[in-house]
Structure 1
Amino acid sequence: MAQYIIGVDIGTTSTKTILFDIAGTAHAKSNQGYPLIQDAVGMAEQAPAQILQAVYSGIRAVTADIAPTSIVGIAFSAAMHSLILLDDQQQPLTRSITWADNRAAAAAAKLKAMQGATARELRTGVPTHPMTPLSKLVWLRENRPELMQQAKYIVGIKEYVLLQLTGQLVTDYSLAGATGMFNLNTCDWDDAALHLAGITRTQLPPLVPTTKQLDGLTVAASKETGLPQNTPVIVGASDGCLSNLGLGAIDAGDVALTIGTSGAVRTACKQPVPTTVTFTYYLAPDLWIQGGPTNNGGNVLQWLDRSLFPDFGHDYPRLLETVGSVPAGSHHLLCLPFFSGERAPIWDWNARASFIGLTATHTRADMARAALEGVAFNLRAILLRTSRQPKRILATGGFAQSKQWAQLLADSLGQPIQIPDNYESSALGAAILGLNSLGLLSGLKLPQTTTAPATIIKPNPATHTFYAAWFALWQDAVAQTATINHAIAKLRG
């Protein structure tokens, strides 16, 4: 009988569930969406129960046509920086506060201004930002002290889902590293960061390796999924780290570039390389992922569609074809695409989008290309702080499926971009980690014969030469607009 493993990727807007055979080939896929709750300024929350049901539904969908006993395990990936407070009965006191929630901005500013902030960032591997659970906990302590007093446990969304599936509460080293409260040097909670958050170790789940197997499913979870109770559950890691693993980008010089709603640039290293402008997260023994996330990727395309091209009827391929008709430089128009503030490399939640050089002769197509060039330039800025001489760049995510976008990116970076056919890299990365944990895969690489071929987009040398000068001007614009953006933020209050 054939054997299969399920890779579950709990994302910001949906949970992707994929059924892989033990060679890493996908046989069934499910994508279960859920809303982002934004009832107040800066809020970005989700209902944990809805996400749990998305996990259950996804598992049922991909296993509908196979024998439940053929499943060797379920392995998990999840978005970083989520926060849920649980009471003494392990019931949610809050919804899941996602990475995109910006209400902890004032708390993050206080943390950033404290003596020892730089040392803490280097110790924990995470720049100070409202996205981190550390900042969120400080904000909650100041604004919802009654909730903090009731909080018996402090978890993220993957911890909550695993608790419902297995009855066990644990946090893997990878997602712990995204909290801002994990010490890279000791692979343990950082006492000084916990003190700042106003919490104790007893409120946090025990730390476990990413390959940790939990002891099967609860009776209720077995009934919900249709799988046997003794099905192994592998804890897994964060989606960013697992995207590198799923792409095979875990060798020195490999760079993974992901662009979905947001984006990230990541490279692998054998030991932590913390800086104050990039993150460093654990993936496996002697394997760490360094890089930087951007808030602005597919959301910029969504803004263009909504605000400048409503007559296109959400036809994104047509919009991108229109962008392709505009020359590099967008007729001398720059865009700083910080529609949602920005994380790497400037880590400025007060950053805002702007067009510079706009004249009456510019068209909406010019503005659209300038915006996408701005996204590409920010990714280049992150890459320069992560890996100055990458050997290989692998791109995945929705944007990677557009030839126009991929060409613009290759021209900006000045290097070929490889686009694997299998772009659900985080779910595949979870499956790889799971197969390794189960003893069905030696190491963390699938056999070469089973990996999908990649499309290679080569840069245009002349365009790259132009972009090199245009990028320098773009960087100057980012630096020079920071002061006015902060002044506007003060007026907003």
Structure 2
Amino acid sequence: MSTVKPQKNRIIAVDIGTTSTKTLLLDREGQVVSSHTVGYPLHTPSPEIAEQEPDEIVQAVLQGIRQVMASPDVSKEDIVCVSFSAAMHSLIAVDENNALLTRMITWADSRSQKAAEQLLQGEEGLEVYHATGTPIHPMSPLVKLAWMKEQGIKAYQSAHKFIGIKEYIFYKLFGTYVIDYSLASATGLFNLESLQWDDKALAIAGISEQQLSTTVPTTHCMTGIHDGYADFMGLSPDTPVVVGASDGVLANLGAGVLDARHMAVSIGTSGAIRTVVPRPALDSKGRLFCYALTEDHWVIGGASNNGAIVLQWVIEQLYAMESETCKSNGQDPYEVLLKEAEKIDPGADGLLFLPLLTGERAPFWNADARGVFFGLSLSHTKAHMLRAALEGVMFQLAVIKELLQQMSGPGEEIIASGGFARSALWCQMMADIFGMTVLIPKVVDSSGLGAARLGLYALGEVDTLTSFGDEREGVRYVPNPVTHERYRQLLPLYQQVYEQLKGQFTEIVRFQPRG
């Protein structure tokens, strides 16, 4: 008598973020069965330094998987695969015994700013951008390596390998160094056409191809987890583990944005806007990124340093007492205080705010950029300043969107995610400033969902990347024509203010504390 082997019906998605790792246990329809989040600190002994302990992140991954595997009614035999998402641009040096020589240097570390400026002053920087798709900026591992070489840093000189955090985790699990095309294409060292490490970029970094990991497609699957780790996590050693991709491109996949008809916007502490094209596409001035998802899906777009952190700053500095009152009354300060901004007319009665509090990436790529209130008068109140700050974040993303549309076409709809999506005011503001319908989908963990979907696709469990099907469900915000027209007139002025002041930002930064 033959028995039918039950179908495996659970996928584990691991999303390694900047401040925490979130692990999801999902079913085949993309519904989250359980999840677990483990946080870890960001070490910032000075404003330029932003580092983390790699082994703390390894433990976060192991603990996350262990916790979701402890969910009721799940066993190791139920797991289709484990699939990974990870933050971009991390850099770790290891020695010939695979011991750590450095902490993980994160994308937010800006010690390599001068190296970036030097690359941008010559033709070399733009040439490397056009080969690799990664803008020249301190976030880039290429620029970090150029800085380490220039400074003669001991860890650089004695390093056997330079890797990212996901490569370190896979080494722990499997004893080998691999990097997917997606994260490789965010290093500034990977040629988008040949899908190999780029010779010119390697020369600038002063390293050899042998000092980097083996590149593999995002669908690459591995088995043979080291027994000790497999036992700890509650997995079978032969559980398929899909290398996956970066959190940015997987956020697009999780939101169902797989062509240029749609754009994905995410706003957390920072913000980003992205779309997908079938072949690599590059901006002539090096202002937008181009990262791999699959051979037929390339994610282009730009990231802004200044998202919800701007709202946090305004409330902490202008509404501290009101915020404490809300907390003591059991209210959410953000929810209450955003109602104050809602009372102010669109355009904040002629007050603009450049929300460049932490420098800026796209499209200005200016680490010295700073925040500016423009048009401030005696008639303006704190509520005007709050409204202008919210609008400023959206104006900055709108500038990136216009560049993106020049490369990919007008698009039909914005798919938005992140903490800001809980604010109807901010979502409507986006629709009005962008002049496009904004969809807030029911899905919130878009990077994790994208990792799960990619995992099923990698194993041949589904024929296409678009396998879940409920991405178009949610709340839609339609532009108000009158409000959009007002914002359409203000956006060029916003851009002109930056252009007029960009030469002065470096001067004023000289007078600011550096830590």
**Please, what TM-score do these two structures have when normalized by structure 1?**
0.97
Q: Hey, what's the Cα distance between the residues in 1 that align with 2:354 and 2:467?
A: 39
Residue 3 (structure 1) aligns with: 9
Residue 307 (structure 1) aligns with: 317
Contact 2:412–2:436 (Cα < 8 Å) also in 1: no
Q: Hey, what's the Cα distance between the residues in 2 that align with 1:456 and 1:168?
A: 45
Q: Hey, what's the Cα distance between the residues in 2 that align with 1:181 and 1:451?
A: 34
Residue 192 (structure 1) aligns with: 200
Q: Does 1:482 align with 2:488?
A: no
Q: Hey, what's the Cα distance between the residues in 2 that align with 1:198 and 1:51?
A: 28
Residue 455 (structure 2) aligns with: 434
Q: Hey, what's the Cα distance between the residues in 2 that align with 1:233 and 1:144?
A: 38
CA apart distance, 1:251: 2.1
Residue 178 (structure 1) aligns with: 186
The C-alpha deviation readout for 1:120-145, integer Å capped at 9, x for no partner, is 21111111101000111111222352
CA apart distance, 1:148: 0.9
Q: Hey, what's the Cα distance between the residues in 1 that align with 2:99 and 2:342?
A: 51
Q: Hey, what's the Cα distance between the residues in 2 that align with 1:42 and 1:358?
A: 31
Q: Hey, what's the Cα distance between the residues in 1 that align with 2:127 and 2:24?
A: 40
Match among 244, 261, 271 for residue 253 of structure 1: 261
Residue 23 (structure 1) aligns with: 29
Match among 325, 342, 353 for residue 360 of structure 2: 342
Residue 19 (structure 2) aligns with: 13
The C-alpha deviation readout for 1:42-78, integer Å capped at 9, x for no partner, is 1111111111111112112222121122111110011
Contact 1:422–1:452 (Cα < 8 Å) also in 2: no
Match among 382, 394, 401 for residue 422 of structure 2: 401
Contact 1:123–1:274 (Cα < 8 Å) also in 2: no
- For structure 2, list consecutive stretches of 5 or more residues without a partner in the other structure: 1-5, 325-331
The letter of the residue matching 1:423 is V
1:439-454 matched pairs, under 5 angstroms: 439-448=460-469, 450-451=470-471, 453-454=473-474
1:84-99 matched pairs, under 5 angstroms: 84-99=92-107
Q: Hey, what's the Cα distance between the residues in 2 that align with 1:34 and 1:199?
A: 30
The C-alpha deviation readout for 1:282-324, integer Å capped at 9, x for no partner, is 1012111111111110111221232222221372212222221
Q: Hey, what's the Cα distance between the residues in 1 that align with 2:122 and 2:223?
A: 43
- For structure 1, list consecutive stretches of 5 or more residues without a partner in the other structure: none
Q: Hey, what's the Cα distance between the residues in 2 that align with 1:140 and 1:306?
A: 36
Moved more, 417-426 or 224-233: 224-233
Q: Does 1:473 align with 2:493?
A: yes
Q: Hey, what's the Cα distance between the residues in 1 that align with 2:174 and 2:314?
A: 43
Contact 1:12–1:79 (Cα < 8 Å) also in 2: yes
SS of the equivalent of 1:9 reads strand
Contact 2:48–2:110 (Cα < 8 Å) also in 1: yes
CA apart distance, 1:215: 2.0
1:92-491 matched pairs, under 5 angstroms: 92-275=100-283, 276-311=286-321, 312-313=323-324, 315-387=333-405, 388-448=409-469, 450-451=470-471, 453-490=473-510
Q: Hey, what's the Cα distance between the residues in 1 that align with 2:138 and 2:508?
A: 18
Q: Hey, what's the Cα distance between the residues in 2 that align with 1:142 and 1:336?
A: 34
Contact 1:168–1:214 (Cα < 8 Å) also in 2: no
The letter of the residue matching 1:213 is C
SS of the equivalent of 1:249 reads coil
SS of the equivalent of 1:116 reads helix
The C-alpha deviation readout for 1:465-488, integer Å capped at 9, x for no partner, is 100111111111111110110222
CA apart distance, 1:347: 1.0
The C-alpha deviation readout for 1:219-278, integer Å capped at 9, x for no partner, is 221133121111111000111110110111002321111111111111100000011111
Contact 2:161–2:212 (Cα < 8 Å) also in 1: yes
The letter of the residue matching 2:245 is A
Q: Hey, what's the Cα distance between the residues in 1 that align with 2:218 and 2:168?
A: 16
The runs of at least 4 consecutive aligned structure 1 residues that moved more than 4 Å come to 490-493
CA apart distance, 1:168: 2.1
Q: Hey, what's the Cα distance between the residues in 2 that align with 1:246 and 1:341?
A: 29
The letter of the residue matching 2:54 is P
Q: Aligned-residue CA RMSD in angstroms?
A: 1.5
Q: Hey, what's the Cα distance between the residues in 2 that align with 1:173 and 1:333?
A: 44
Q: Hey, what's the Cα distance between the residues in 2 that align with 1:120 and 1:363?
A: 47
- Aligned residue pairs, count: 492
CA apart distance, 1:451: 4.5
Q: Hey, what's the Cα distance between the residues in 2 that align with 1:97 and 1:322?
A: 39
Q: Hey, what's the Cα distance between the residues in 1 that align with 2:341 and 2:62?
A: 40
Q: Hey, what's the Cα distance between the residues in 1 that align with 2:140 and 2:363?
A: 16
Q: Hey, what's the Cα distance between the residues in 2 that align with 1:491 and 1:325?
A: 37
